[in-house]
Chain A
Amino acid sequence: DQQVKQNSPSLSVQEGRISILNCDYTNSMFDYFLWYKKYPAEGPTFLISISSIKDKNEDGRFTVFLNKSAKHLSLHIVPSQPGDSAVYFCAAKGSARQLTFGSGTQLTVLP
């Protein structure tokens, strides 16, 4: 049973436009959410996080929104740049010690 779902395996966006990556979760006990970015042949790198007590967290071009009632979070990248092309994983943490990852979304930013 996938507790963290990224239903879009891929997304293509024009350079300069907004990229919106979505993530849904089923476990209401999750209280902390993170986004990781992964380039080919490299490990994921931390991008941005949000606690369940917030509904928005912004860091430069990256903003994460959390809708707890819908159990949905999204990552907005604006403006998108070709260097943003990567696989993006959302992850969630609850009372258990480990993170639960989604399956990832491949973002391609077209120049």
Chain B
Amino acid sequence: GAVVSQHPSRVICKSGTSVKIECRSLDFQATTMFWYRQFPKQSLMLMATSNEGSKATYEQGVEKDKFLINHASLTLSTLTVTSAHPEDSSFYICSARGGRWEGSPLHFGNGTRLTVT
């Protein structure tokens, strides 16, 4: 079945540095990818929708200058957390729709645990 690869799985960085997270669709083309953030024991919160070849669409309250999203190809989207702070520590997950239909199930990456010290 469709596979989404997310890298790295875990990253620790110092406050003030930037971290890039990659999300790849391995055996299908994904014109749209989604980035989520999950706090402990809470729901997956959609941060932004990444569209290939155009600007990402950010959800209300998400700082687009802090969470830079680039969807350079049909198989790769990146999320860069710029000038990270300890409050950015979280679990970030990407997903891609497995088909063109909006109701197609999402395929998720394994997530990235970001710890900012």
Residues in chain A within 8 A of chain B (CB atoms) = 2, 4, 9, 32, 34, 36, 41-46, 49, 51, 89, 93, 97-99, 101-104
Contact = CB atoms under 8 A, between A and B. Distances in A.
B110 A42 contact: yes
Contact of B107 (A9, A46, A49, A102): A46
B108 A93 contact: no
B109 to A, nearest CB: 5
Nearest 6 CB-CB pairings of A with B? A43-B108, A46-B105, A103-B43, A101-B44, A101-B43, A43-B110
Contacts of B105: 34, 46, 49
| Size bin of chain B's contact surface | 20 to 34
Contacts of B95: 43
B110 A9 contact: no
Contacts of B4: 43
Contact of B111 (A43, A51, A99): A43
